[in-house]
Structure 1
Amino acid sequence: MASNINRTLEYSNPMNISHNLSTDEKISSPLQNFGKAKKQINNIFVDLLCYVAEASERIKDVNDKCPDVINTNELKSIIDYEFKVKGISEVLTRDHMKVAFFGRTSNGKSTVVNAMLGDKVLPSGIGHTTNCFLQVEGSQNGDAYLVIEGSNERQNVESVSHLAHALNHEKQLNEKELVHVYWPKDRCVLLRDDVVLVDSPGVDVTPHLDDWIDNHCIDADVFVLVANAESTLMVTEKNFFHKVSSKLSKPNIFILNNRWDASANESEFLDPVRKQHTERATDFLVKELKVCTAEEASTRIFFISAKEVLQARVQERKGLASNSGALAEGFSIRYMEFEEFERRFEECISKSAIKTKFLNHSQEGKHLIKDMLKIMDIIYNRSQEQKNLKLNEIEKCQEKLNYTEQSLISITKEMKTKIHQMVNDVEKKVSKALSLEIRRLSVLVNEFSFPFHSDPLVLNAYKKELHSYVESGLGSNLRARLSTALALNIDESQKEMIEKMSALLPEEKRNIRLRNPQREPFEVFYRLNCDNLCRDFHEHLEFKFSWGLSKLFGRVRSFSTSWSYYYSRTIMSSQFNNQSNVSINTFNRLHGVTMERNLSVISRILLTSLGTPGAMGLFIFAGFMIKTVGWRLMVVNGATYGCLYLYERMSWTTKAKEREFKRQYVRHATSKLRMIVELTSTNCSYQVQQKLSTFLAQLCELVDMSATDLIDEMKSLDGKLRILSKLTEVSKMLRNKGAVLKADLKQFEDTFLSK
C-alpha cells in the first residue's frame, strides 16, 4: 500500500491529474464490466425467454392436435421453464452492484458515502446521526427524490435529513426501515454504473443485527466497515461481521480507518498506530472471519479522512482547488489512499457482483437449455418414430382399401349372377306350381262352403266370398309347395353373402355389424287378385233340359261337324296329294261346302219346325216322325222323354244350381288364371330378386362403410402425419436455437466468469 502511495506522490499535482483523467479512467473502469456483463446476460435471457415461450406455445399447439406424442411431464417442464426464465429476466433487469456501509455510530459512514458520491447527498456531520437504512441509487429520469419503502410517494430529497436524523424528536422511521434516495446518474459515475450505496445506522444502536442482515445485506456484494482511527475495532463491530460471515460465504469486506487526519497532530505515533490498526484488522479478516488471505487483506485496509475528500470534491465542483478542503498536513497522501480504496473497491465489487449476480443465473440458464435440448431431442426422435408408424399405417390402410374395393366388385358380380339364376329358377317353379293348382281348381272350389241362393243379392255376396276363398286357397297351396324350399334357398344365399362380405370387414367390427343385418323370414306374396280377375264372370242358372231340342241340335251339329271334318279331310287329302298346285285355302273352302251340304236337310227341317208359331212346329215334326218310325215307338219315346224332363226339372234345386255355378266359375276362373301364370311367376321372382338384392345392398353398404372408415382413418393419419412433420421441424428448429443460446452462455462465462 505504501509503495502505491509513494508512486502516486511522484506527480506534481496528483489531485488535478486524478480528476483531469477521471473521464478516461472511468471509461476503462472495472465497473463497466458489470454493465457489459449485465447487458449481455440480459440479452441472452431475453432471447432465452422468447425461446422458451415459443417452445411452450408451439409444443402446446401440437399437443392439442396430437396429444399422444408429448407426455404431460415434458409439457409441464417447458411451461415451468417459461415462468422460471421470466422470473430470472425480471431479477436481471433489477440487478446492480450493492455496497453496504457499517460501523459504530458517528464513525463517518454517511460522510464516506457522500465522499464517494462527490456531493453532500446524505446528512452528515455533527448532530446528523443516521437512524435508518438509506439506499442511494441512480434515478432514471435525472431527478433527485426519495421514496420510503412500502410507499410510492415521492418526496423532496431534502426531507431525508428530517426522516433519517436520529436526533430528531419527531423521528418517523426506525432502524429497520429503508429509504430509497434517488440521485441523478449524471452527477455520479458510480450511480451511472449501477452501483447502489447503502448507509446504515450504527451497529451499536440495536441488538437486532440478524434482521439487518436478512433484510438489507444478504444481496450486498461488498461490505465496508467504517472504523474510527482514533480507537480500535470494537466488539460490536466484530460481532456484526461475524454474523455476516456466518450467513454469507466469504463476504468481501473493506476496512476504512476514518478520521486519519487526526494522526497529523501526532506524527511521532503515526507509523506505530497505523501498524497496530493494520495488524488488528488483518487478524480480524484473516484469522477471525477467514474471508481472505494476509496478502489480500493488505489491499482491503485503508486509512482515510472522508471529510477531507468530501470537502475537496465539493470544492472541485465549484471550480476551486481541491486542497482547499484539507484539514491537516498529509492531505495528498490521505486523498490518494481514498482513491486507491475506490479503485480496489471498483475492481472487487465488479468481480464480485458479476459472479454473485450472474454466475448462478448463467448456470441455471445452461441447465435449463440442457434440459430443453434433451426434451427437444426426445420429442424429435419420438416424432420421427411416430411419423414412420403413421406412414406404415397409411400404407396398410391403402392396401386394405384397394383389396376391399376389388373384392367387393368381384363378390358383387358373383352374387348378382347367383341371384339371377335363383330368380329364373323361382319363376319356373312358381309357374309350374300355379299351373298344377289351376288344374285342381275344381277341387278347391267344391270345398267352398257358404250359404248359396240364386237371389242376386245373396249371389253377389257368395261371389265375393268365393273370390277371397279361391285367392287365399291358391296362395296357401302355393306357399305349401314353395315357401319352405324358397326360404331355405334364400337363407343359404344370405349366409353365403355374409360369409363372403364378412371377410372384407375389420375383425373388431365384423361381429357387431353382421350380427343381425335385417335377416327376417322371407315369404312370397302371391297376388292373384281373383276379385278383379273374375269381375266379368256372369253365371247362367236358368233351367235347361239336357235332352232338349236345342241341346240335341247342338250335340248333333257338333258330332256332324266333327265327323264331316274327319271324312272330308280324309277324302280330300287323298285327292289333293297328287295336285301340288292346290293351296290350303282351296282345301278349306271345299271342306266348308261339304259340311254345309250334309247339314242342309236336317237344318232346314229343324229350323222350319222350330220356326212355326206355337206348338205347330212340334206337331209337324212329330207327324213327320210318326210317319217315319211309327206311332207306338213315338209314344214310348215321348213318355221316356217326358220322364227325363220331369226328373231333371225336379232335380233342379238350389244345390244343383250351386254345383252349376261352381262349374261355370271354375271354367271361367281357369281361363283367367291361366292368363296370369306368367305374370304371377314373374312377380314372385321379382320379390325374391328384390329380397336378395336388398340384402346384398345392405352388405355392400356395410363394406362401403368400412371402406369409408378406412378413408377417414387415412385422412386422420394424414392429418397426424402433417402435425408430426410440423413437430419434427419445430423440435429441430428449437434444438438449433437452444444450441445457439448455449453457445452464447458459454461465451458469456468465458468472457466474464472464467477468472
Structure 2
Amino acid sequence: MALSSKTVCHAYQAYVTQTSVSREEVGTLRKENGRSLGNGHASRPQSPLKFFIQAKKRINDVFKEILEYVQEAEKFQTEVPEGCKQEEELSVTKYEGKIQGIIEVLTRDHMKVVFFGRTSNGKSTTINAMLRSKILPSGIGHTTNCFLQVEGCDSAEGFLLTEDSDQPKGIGSIKQLASALSTVKLKENSLIRILWPKDKCRLLREDVVFLDSPGIDVSPDLDTWIDNFCLDADVFVLVANAESTLMQTEKNFFHKVSSRLSKPNIFILQNRWDVSVSEEEADQVKEQHYQRNVDFLSNELKVVDKQEAKNRIFFVSSKEALISRLHEDNLTPTPSGSLQKDYPERLFAFANFEKSFESCISKSAVKTKFEQHSQRGKNIMSDLREIMEKTLSTSQTQMTEKQKFREEAADELDYLDKQLILLTSEIKDKIKYMVEDVENKVSYALNEEIRRLSSLVDEFDRPFHPDEMVLNVYKKELHAHVEEGLGRNLQQRCSYALQTTVESTQKEMTDRLSALLPDEEKSQLANILPKKDFEIAYRLDCRNLCADFREDIQFRFSFGIMSLMHRFLGAQGTKEALGGYPTSVPRGIPRTPSMDLRAPPGGQDTQLLVSVVTTFATVTSRTTMGALIVGGLIAKIAGWRVIAVTGALYGLLYVYERLTWTNKAKERSFKRQYVDYASSKLKLIVDLTSANCSHQVQQELSSTFARLCNQVDISKEKLEEEVHQLDKDITKLNEISTRSKSLRNKAEYLDKMLDKFIDDYLAKPDVR
C-alpha cells in the first residue's frame, strides 16, 4: 500500500539525507507508489486487484447465462418426443448441478494469500501491516497457535467464527483462541475466520483473503496443512528472518507445496531488516540472502527464472511498516525511536512488495480460479451444443421422413377417395342393371309358371268331397301345394342363377374394394360377406291371394238354356239378356247389339231358332206364356216329329250328364275353376313379386357394398387420422428443430463469450 503524502514526504527527506540512494531511484519509488511528493493530493492508478474483480464478475455473469441456458435446454429436452431424445449420457439434466456448483464456487472464489515461516518471523505483523490494523496477535515468541483467515465482510464491526460453532464472537476473543500464550487455545490445524469490515481495508474490499499460519517449525503435520489450507492459495509469502539464512525447514515446506501445486507463486520477505542498520556488512549479508533465495526459487523449486526470482525477494521491516501506517491513519506523529535508520528504504520496499504482490495475486488468482472453470464451461457448452446439434439433426431427419410419409398418406387418401367415388358409381350402375335383370327374369318365370298352373294343380292329389268342411280343408291344402310348388319351381328356374350372379357381384365388389385397402386390412373383408348363401323369398301367399275364391260345383246341364246362354253370351251377356238392358246406358244412345253371339253348328235354322228363342225369352221375361209361345213356334217351324226325336235325344243327353256328375267330375270342375281364378290373381302380382325379388337382390348387394364401404371408410378414417397425426408430428418436429437450432446457436454464443473471457483475462497476461 502507498503511504500518505505527509509520511512519504517526511520519509523522503530523511531518506535523502541519510542514504546514498540516487535521485533516479527515489523518482522510481515515487512513481511506483503513485504519488506526487511535491503536493498533498493523491492520484492513485487503478489497483491491479480490480483485474480479478472484473474477471470474477464477468465469468459469474457468463455462468449465470449458462445456467439459464441449461435450464432452458433441460425444459426443452423434457418436451422432446422419445424418438428425438438422445442417449442417457447426452442428457442435459446432469449439467445443471455442475453449473450450479461452478457458480457457487465462483461466488466464494477470492484471491488467497498464505503466509508461512518459522515461529516469530513476523507473519502476523506483516498481515497487520497490510491490513493497516493490528488485528492478529503478534509479539515475541510463539504467538499464533492455529490458522487465522482474514476476509472482508459488509458489517460495520468485525467478528470471528470458529469451526466448532456458528455463533460469531468478538474480535477481542482472538487472543484467547489463537495465541499460543493463552490457556484456552485451539489445535494447530484449526481455522478461525476473522471477518473484518471491507470499508476499513482496501485489500479486503478487492476480495483478498489473508491466511496466517502457525510456525512451520512447531508441527510435523505439514502435509495436512497443505491439503487443508494451501491447495486453493494463489500466492505464498515466506516470511523469513533476515538475521538468519533460509532454513531447511522452510525449504522442505515449500518443496512439499511445489510437489502439490504446479509452480506456486512464492514471495520471500526478509523481515526485520531494520536490524541491519547497526551492521557494517549489511550489503554483503543482503547479497548473500539474494543469492540463496534466488537459487532456492529458480534452481531448487524451479518456479521462476533468476530474473523473476530477484523481483520476488524483498527486505522489509513489517514492524516499522505497521507502526508507520497506524500513526498515519490515526493522524498522530510517529514516536521517536520507533523507526530505525534508513526506514524509508524499508517502507518503500514494503510498498513495492505490496504492489508486486497485488499484480501477481490478481493474475494468478484469475488463472488458477477461473481458467479451470472456463475450460469446464467450454466443455459443457461443447457437449450441450453437440446435444442440440444431434437433436436438430434427428428432428430434421424425422421431419423429412414424416413429411414423406405424410405425402404418401395424403396421396393414398386422395386416390382412395377418387377410386371410391368411381367404384361407387360403377357398383350402383351394376346393381341397377342386375335389379332390372332379376325383375325381368322373375316376371318371365312367374308368367311361365302361371301358364303351367293347371299341371301343378293336377298334381295335387287329396281326397275330394263337396262337403263344405272337407272342401275348406281341401282348398287350404291346395293353397299350400300351389304356393310351395310355385316357389319351388321359381327357385329351380331363377334362384341358382340369381344366387350365382349375386355371389359373383359380391366377390367382384370385395376384390375391387380390397385393392384399395392395405394388406393388413384385406383379410377383414372376408368377414364382411354373409356367412349363408343368399336366397330369394318369393312370398306368393296363395292362401290370402285366393281367399275370395268361390267354387261352383252344382250340376248344370251343358245343353240347358242357361248353359247355352253362358256359353254363347258369356256371363255378362246372359245377365243383361235375362235382366234387361242396363239402366246406366245414357238416353239417346242406341244400344248396339251384342256381337258376342256366335253361330252354333246346325245352319241358319238353328241360328234363327236361337234368335227367336232369345227374343221371346227376353220379351216374355221367362213366363209360362212365353214358353208356350216359343214351343209353338218351334213346333210350327220344325215339325212335331223332329221335336220328339230331338227331345228324346236331349233327355238322354241330360240323363247321361247327370249320371256322370260324380266327385271326380266335381273335382275336375273345381280345379279348373281354381286354376282360372288363381291364374287371374297371380297375374295381378307378377309385377309386385318380380319387384319384390329385385328389391331383395338390391338390398343384399347394397348392404354388402355398404358394409364393404364401411370397412373402406374405416381405413379412410385411419388414413385421415394418420395424416392429421403426421401434421401434428411435423409441426412438433419443426418446433423442436427451430428450438434446438436456436439453443445450438445460443451454445455457440456462450462458448464465444467464454473464449472472449479467456482472451481478455487468461490469454493476455497483462493486468489492466
The reply to whether TM is greater than 0.5 is yes
| 2:132 alignment counterpart | 118
Which of 453, 461, 466 is the matching residue for 1:441?
A: 453
Deviation of the 1:353 alpha carbon: 0.6
- Provide the C-alpha distance between the structure 2 equivalents of 1:529 and 1:159, rounded to a whole number of angstroms: 125
Deviation of the 1:637 alpha carbon: 6.8
Alignment of 1:266-285 (within 5 A): 266-285=278-297
Which of 109, 123, 147 is the matching residue for 1:95?
A: 109
Is 2:76 aligned against 1:58?
A: yes
| 1:554 alignment counterpart | 562
Deviation of the 1:463 alpha carbon: 5.0
Aligned partners of 1:312 and 1:323 also within 8 Å: no
Is 2:510 aligned against 1:495?
A: no
Deviation of the 1:248 alpha carbon: 0.8
Alignment of 1:344-363 (within 5 A): 344-363=356-375
| 1:577 alignment counterpart | none
SS at structure 2 position matched to 1:154: strand
| 1:302 alignment counterpart | 314
Aligned partners of 1:427 and 1:685 also within 8 Å: yes
Give the letter aligned to residue 108 of structure 1: G
| 2:230 alignment counterpart | 217
> Matched residue pairs, number?
715
Is 2:715 aligned against 1:711?
A: no
Q: Deviations over 1:255-309 (max 9, x none)?
A: 2233333333x41243343333333333332232222222222122223222222
SS at structure 1 position matched to 2:243: coil
Aligned partners of 1:232 and 1:277 also within 8 Å: yes
| 1:180 alignment counterpart | 193
Give the letter aligned to residue 100 of structure 1: V
Bigger mean CA offset, 738-747 vs 89-98: 738-747
Give the letter aligned to residue 317 of structure 1: D
| 1:575 alignment counterpart | none
Is 2:762 aligned against 1:753?
A: yes
| 2:709 alignment counterpart | 700
Bigger mean CA offset, 468-477 vs 38-47: 468-477
Q: Deviations over 1:229-257 (max 9, x none)?
A: 33343343333222211111111112223
Alignment of 1:570-609 (within 5 A): 588-589=592-593, 591=595, 599=610, 601-602=612-613
- Provide the C-alpha distance between the structure 2 equivalents of 1:85 and 1:721, rounded to a whole number of angstroms: 33
Bigger mean CA offset, 623-632 vs 341-350: 623-632
Give the letter aligned to residue 686 of structure 2: V
Give the letter aligned to residue 690 of structure 1: Q
- Provide the C-alpha distance between the structure 2 equivalents of 1:319 and 1:141, rounded to a whole number of angstroms: 25
Q: Deviations over 1:553-612 (max 9, x none)?
A: 2332244448xx9xxxxxxxxxxxxxxxxxxx9794374899998646545888989867
Aligned partners of 2:29 and 2:348 also within 8 Å: no
- In structure 2, list runs of 5 or more residues that go unmatched: 1-19, 574-588, 600-606
Give the letter aligned to residue 750 of structure 2: L
Deviation of the 1:656 alpha carbon: 7.1
Aligned partners of 2:119 and 2:141 also within 8 Å: no
Is 2:140 aligned against 1:136?
A: no
SS at structure 2 position matched to 1:121: coil
- Provide the C-alpha distance between the structure 2 equivalents of 1:464 and 1:360, rounded to a whole number of angstroms: 113
Give the letter aligned to residue 207 of structure 1: P
Give the letter aligned to residue 552 of structure 1: G
Aligned partners of 1:9 and 1:333 also within 8 Å: no
Alignment of 1:253-292 (within 5 A): 253-264=266-277, 266-292=278-304
- Provide the C-alpha distance between the structure 1 equivalents of 2:759 and 2:95, rounded to a whole number of angstroms: 25
Which of 242, 245, 248 is the matching residue for 2:255?
A: 242
SS at structure 1 position matched to 2:280: helix
Alignment of 1:197-208 (within 5 A): 197-208=210-221
SS at structure 1 position matched to 2:119: coil
- Provide the C-alpha distance between the structure 2 equivalents of 1:681 and 1:695, rounded to a whole number of angstroms: 21
SS at structure 1 position matched to 2:560: helix
Is 2:53 aligned against 1:71?
A: no
- Provide the C-alpha distance between the structure 1 equivalents of 2:88 and 2:441, rounded to a whole number of angstroms: 74
- Provide the C-alpha distance between the structure 1 equivalents of 2:144 and 2:23, rounded to a whole number of angstroms: 32
- Provide the C-alpha distance between the structure 2 equivalents of 1:34 and 1:243, rounded to a whole number of angstroms: 27
Which of 664, 687, 691 is the matching residue for 1:678?
A: 687
Deviation of the 1:218 alpha carbon: 0.9
Deviation of the 1:132 alpha carbon: 2.7
Which of 522, 533, 537 is the matching residue for 2:549?
A: 537
| Cα 1:591/1:495, change in 2 over 3 Å | closer
Aligned partners of 2:234 and 2:264 also within 8 Å: yes
Give the letter aligned to residue 162 of structure 1: Q
SS at structure 2 position matched to 1:28: coil
Aligned partners of 1:100 and 1:224 also within 8 Å: yes
- Provide the C-alpha distance between the structure 1 equivalents of 2:29 and 2:563, rounded to a whole number of angstroms: 175
- Provide the C-alpha distance between the structure 1 equivalents of 2:414 and 2:22, rounded to a whole number of angstroms: 93
Give the letter aligned to residue 194 of structure 1: D
Is 2:747 aligned against 1:743?
A: no
Aligned partners of 2:495 and 2:536 also within 8 Å: yes
Give the letter aligned to residue 696 of structure 1: F
Deviation of the 1:405 alpha carbon: 2.7
Alignment of 1:411-426 (within 5 A): 411-426=423-438
SS at structure 2 position matched to 1:196: strand
| Cα 1:51/1:603, change in 2 over 3 Å | same
- Provide the C-alpha distance between the structure 1 equivalents of 2:283 and 2:506, rounded to a whole number of angstroms: 122
| 1:570 alignment counterpart | none
Alignment of 1:367-516 (within 5 A): 367-447=379-459, 463-464=475-476, 466-506=478-518, 508-516=519-527
Give the letter aligned to residue 516 of structure 1: N
SS at structure 1 position matched to 2:689: helix
- Provide the C-alpha distance between the structure 2 equivalents of 1:645 and 1:461, rounded to a whole number of angstroms: 27
- Provide the C-alpha distance between the structure 2 equivalents of 1:138 and 1:487, rounded to a whole number of angstroms: 105
Deviation of the 1:379 alpha carbon: 4.4
Aligned partners of 1:315 and 1:325 also within 8 Å: no
Bigger mean CA offset, 355-364 vs 269-278: 269-278
Aligned partners of 1:8 and 1:336 also within 8 Å: no
Deviation of the 1:95 alpha carbon: 1.5
Give the letter aligned to residue 54 of structure 1: E
SS at structure 2 position matched to 1:429: helix
Deviation of the 1:442 alpha carbon: 4.0
Alignment of 1:521-670 (within 5 A): 521-540=533-552, 544-547=554-557, 552-561=560-569, 588-589=592-593, 591=595, 599=610, 601-602=612-613, 641-642=654-655, 645-646=658-659, 648=661, 651-652=662-663, 662-670=671-679
Deviation of the 1:31 alpha carbon: 0.7
Give the letter aligned to residue 545 of structure 1: F
Deviation of the 1:357 alpha carbon: 1.1
- Provide the C-alpha distance between the structure 1 equivalents of 2:54 and 2:64, rounded to a whole number of angstroms: 15
| 1:155 alignment counterpart | 169
- Provide the C-alpha distance between the structure 1 equivalents of 2:468 and 2:401, rounded to a whole number of angstroms: 87
Q: TM-score, normalised by structure 1?
A: 0.83
SS at structure 2 position matched to 1:227: strand
- Provide the C-alpha distance between the structure 1 equivalents of 2:23 and 2:61, rounded to a whole number of angstroms: 41
SS at structure 2 position matched to 1:71: coil
CA RMSD of aligned residues (A): 4.2
Give the letter aligned to residue 565 of structure 2: R
| 1:328 alignment counterpart | 340
- Provide the C-alpha distance between the structure 2 equivalents of 1:98 and 1:527, rounded to a whole number of angstroms: 112
- Provide the C-alpha distance between the structure 2 equivalents of 1:314 and 1:671, rounded to a whole number of angstroms: 145
- In structure 1, list runs of 5 or more residues that go unmatched: 566-584
